[in-house]
Structure 1
Amino acid sequence: MGFKDFINKSLQEIKFLNATPVQEKVIPLVRKGQDLIVQSQTGSGKTHAYLLPIFDKLEHSENNQVLITSPSRELAYQIYDDTEEIAKNDNISVSNYVGGTDKKRQEQKLENSQPEIAIGTPGRLLDLIKSNHLKVNETKVLVIDEADMTLDMGFLDDVNQIASAMSEDLQILVFSATIPEKLQPFLKKYLTQPKFVVIDNPNVVSENVENWLISSRGQNKHEMIYQILTTGQPFLSLIFANTKNEVDDIYDFLIHKGLKVARIHGGLTPRERKRTMKRIENMEFQFVVATDLAARGIDITGVSHVINAEIPDDLEFFIHRSGRTGRNNLSGIAITLYNPSEEEKITVLEKMGVKFKPKEIKKEGIVDTYERNRRQQRTASNEKLSTTMRGLVKKQKTKRKPGYKKKIKNAISEEKRKNKKIEARQQQRALRKKRKNENSY
């Protein structure tokens, strides 16, 4: 793509040689100075799609040139690390500003010098802009990463105020997995004739990911999770729960069972979260329990298994969770535990394109089991009575001597019972045959 030498050197050092589809489409447009709205799934390479052309156009200056907003601290740290990997070969100054860090110290540094690239969470960036410590009047590019998550977490007003403090000839790049309707007023207000780039994802979940579905049937989910984690050899497992309390409960249970486990959720201090993320990156943990904070944007390398202890209320997060594994052309397994009350959610996910494989936990491991709707199928097949039985059913409707109807009912019940036994034997044979041909876990 004809990048500057220092960019090519950086890309070689991180062994990043081939562009992804989003990068192929976006990089030329950013170079032209075009405002962009880019819709692409998590893990598609959005970060480098804007970083590389920004670096290519960047000219050294004592003023801030680029501002990048992130809805979460973890994602801001990740963007900062990616940016530093490229910036180091040309001595470009990069700073990260997130909540929970020492604001006074950041203000003192900004009084002496401005970073050429500033990254951070909307609240902290806005505080520094309002206090006139971070000067953005000459900023050339504003990047809004994970815009839909920024909206969901209530930070869009902060981003609105940040954009309003900048010059009118600003280039704005918006990246998001989805483009909600509530985002439209902001886009219309600030973007000038934006180019809309959509990277189609024909598979809602990567083809490299197998989705296993396990019914809890009233069992203790914590015990089930422990059985899953200790059956086979997962390289790195991410366990997702919907609330901080449930994450803590699963974490405490697994710790009590003797496993070395990390946890990530918004209730931890920024220092704790940063330290935990570093330890996970250093492969100190095999198991990580998290809320959906970790499902968006954060790239934890080497996740072989994802376990959904609960199905999220926002089913988009299910897709983001599954997207944590099966990356970089590696295979992965996403295991979902569900209660009978969650049947409707499973049905919606199937309509979205998620293909589940029904499984159950046995002493020998995780094995194939029946389809969820087997009862309806069985009922339908049982109703296909023989010609003799259909004749008896018709006769049942006419008036007969006492005991005749009872005789017919017994005959029908007996035939249904035989049909059930035949069907059960056939299913067992099919399962045994399938288990011989596959590794269970």
Structure 2
Amino acid sequence: MLFKNYELKPFLQEALKELHFTTATPIQEEIIPLLLAKKNVIGQSQTGTGKSHSFLVPLVNQVDPNKDYLQLVVTVPSRELAEQLVSVCQQLISKSEQPILLEKCIGGTDKKRQVQKLAAQQPHIVIGTPGRIFDLMKENVLFVQQVSMMVIDEADMTFDLGFLATVDDIASRMPKHLQMSVFSATIPEKIKPFLKKYMGNPVMVQIESEQLLSTTIDNQLLVTKGKNPDEALLELMTMGHPYLMLIFANTKQKVDELTKLIRSRGLKVAAIHGDIPARERRRIMKQIQNMEYQYVVATDLAARGIDIEGVSHVINVEIPTELEFFIHRVGRTGRNGLSGTAITFYTPDQEENIQILEKKGIEFKTVELKKGELVESYDRRRREKRKGTNKQEYDARVGGMVKKAKKKIKPGYKKKLNFEIKRQNQKKRRAANTKGGGKRK
């Protein structure tokens, strides 16, 4: 649907036109009419679907700048996500004739100054992290008693990071008739009681991405069995001169270990994870955007919480514990029609996880490092295929003998057939016993 066909205030239409937004994405097409109709909504979609505008456009449309109290609160689990949403919201309200006051509430900023500012005047919109928002409420400088709209963005990440109880504390102080919207890549079972408490019977909107990964991404599995993964990583880093390489690990400790290793080889590298202070993270992000770093090592905070432009390579030194994050990680490259390369370190004991990803529709090319080059490797399922072929060979052999036995032939042939059938049955029993953990006693 075209944005001009929605009943939006003129300043929003003007802002969208300036952003060259003409046609709504699938999630925007579903969500915008529901939020304009003041429905409670749960939106489930992957990153990069236009989710931020799907809720900010219709909810900003409902904000009344003539009222001098807080009307819309948006919570996000990380400071970086808050920065991004604030930027989107600033673009949308920039054309309003009457100023719409927006306040960013995140840790790592001057709290004393923010307390003084809020004591003097309440904003119309607040976007921030649950901890800082609730902190300002406890200081009695941020008043949510008249809030009519609340958004919980990245709800699964909010839960994973332990912020759901704080979000509950915030929402419990808002009016009973609150329009709540929740957005998440997944809806974990443990957040459902919270959703039921505040949302009643919300409208569920689930947008399945037609293409989980961009077709411009060369998605590879690097076989590291029998190799030192650290040395493999260092070799990849110096191959082909990557424009910007994002290296993912599962833990903060692993990120620190890899950063130390890379620096020991004389390479300049940035590290991003939750234990790095907010001010330091902002400084690093600015340096990355200014192309001061060619290599970045990060936890999944960067997969969901940080938007880094120009990523040419993504390296997963570990398959993420939550497989959903695989898509977020690899989706950092191959954007805006540009080509990208994603390489995931793999050993055969991880086959089950890879097969789960393949069932979701993700395709891999198996590769190995040989003489400083990535070359196509063996078929990972060759053993399974071989087993199937052998079984077919056995069955075909016995079947052929049975067919032959039906004809009038020498008596000795039937004896030979019975011996072959017996031999094949013994083989099958031995194979079953081996699979079951050994021979029976």
TM-score range, shorter chain: 0.7 to 0.9
| CA distance in structure 1 between the partners assigned to 2:182 and 2:11 by the alignment | 26
The equivalent position to 1:72 in structure 2, one of 75, 78, 81, is: 78
Q: 2:189 aligns with which of 177, 181, 194?
A: 181
Residue 48 of structure 2 corresponds to residue 40 of structure 1: no
- The match for 1:422 is none
Task: In structure 2, give the amino acid aligned to 1:127.
Answer: D
Does the aligned pair in 1 maintain the 2:27–2:54 contact within 8 Å? yes
- Kindly report which structure 2 residues correspond to 1:188-207, keeping only aligned pairs within 5 A, or say none: 188-207=196-215
Task: Note the alpha carbon deviations across 1:111-131, whole angstroms, 9 max, x for none.
Answer: 111121111111111111122
1:248 corresponds to 2:248: no
Equivalent residue number for residue 300 of structure 1: 308
Query: Is the Cα contact below 8 Å between 2:235 and 2:372 reproduced in 1?
Result: no
Tell me what 1:274 maps to: 282
Please report how far the alpha carbon of residue 192 of structure 1 lies from its aligned counterpart in structure 2 after TM superposition: 4.2
Equivalent residues in 2 for 1:119-134 (5 A)? 119-134=127-142
SS of match in other structure, 1:119: strand
Contact 1:67 1:142 in 2 (8 A): yes
In the alignment, structure 1 residue 21 sits paired with structure 2 residue 26: yes
Q: Give 1:87 shift.
A: 2.4
Q: 2:111 aligns with which of 103, 107, 121?
A: 103
Moved more, 344-353 or 73-82: 344-353
The yes-or-no answer on 1:62 pairing with 2:72 is no
The TM-score, its normalising length taken from structure 2, stands at 0.82
Q: What SS does the aligned partner of 1:50 have?
A: helix
Q: Paired residues, what number?
A: 395
Aligned position for 1:147: 155
Stretch of structure 1 that moved more, 87-96 or 37-46: 87-96
Which residues in structure 2 correspond to 1:204-283 (within 5 Å)?
Answer: 204-283=212-291
Q: Deviations over 1:217-266 (max 9, x none)?
A: 23222221222232224332211001112111222222333333221101
Name the aligned partner's letter for residue 224 of structure 1.
A
| TM-fit CA distance, 1:16 | 3.7
- CA spacing shift, 1:128–1:25, aligned 2, 3 Å: same
SS at match of 1:223: helix
* 5 and 258 in structure 1: CA distance in 2 versus 1, 3 angstrom threshold: farther
2:146 is aligned, of 134, 138, 151, to 138
User: What is residue 290 of structure 1 aligned with on the other side?
Assistant: 298
Task: Say if 2:373 is the partner of 1:365.
Answer: yes
Unmatched segments (≥5 aa) in structure 2:
402-414, 420-441
Write the distance in 1 (CA, Å) between the matches of 2:337 and 2:182.
27
Separation in 2 of the partners of 1:278 and 1:65? 32
Taking the aligned partners of 1:157 and 1:292, their CA distance within structure 2 comes to 22
Post-superposition offset of 1:277: 1.7
Superimposed CA distance per residue, residues 307-357 of structure 1 (whole angstroms, 9 cap, x where no aligned partner):
101112221222221222233344432210023332332233223332211
CA distance in 2 between counterparts of 1:173 and 1:165 reads 17
* Distance (whole Å) between structure 1 residues aligned to residue 239 and residue 273 of structure 2: 26
Residue of 168, 171, 190 corresponding to 2:176: 168
Give, in whole Å, the separation in 2 of the partners of 1:198 and 1:379: 40
Report if the CA contact (8 A) 2:72-2:150 is conserved. Answer: yes
Instruction: Give identity over the alignment, percent.
Output: 51
Change (3 A) 1:15 1:258: farther
- Whether contact under 8 Å (1:292, 1:321) holds in the other structure is yes
Structure 1 unaligned regions, length at least 5? 399-441
What TM-score comes out, normalization by structure 1 length? 0.82
Query: 1:418 aligns to what?
Result: none
**1:49 matched residue in structure 2:** 54
Aligned to 2:410: none
Taking the aligned partners of 2:207 and 2:237, their CA distance within structure 1 comes to: 35
Tell me if 1:338 matches 2:346.
Answer: yes
Which one-letter code corresponds to 1:82 in the other structure? Answer: V
Aligned residues: CA RMSD: 2.6
| Cα distance in 2 for residues equivalent to 1:14 and 1:250 | 39
The 5-angstrom pairing of residues 394-405 of structure 1 reads none
Q: Residues 372, 248 of structure 1: CA spacing in aligned structure 2 closer, same or farther, 3 A cutoff? A: same
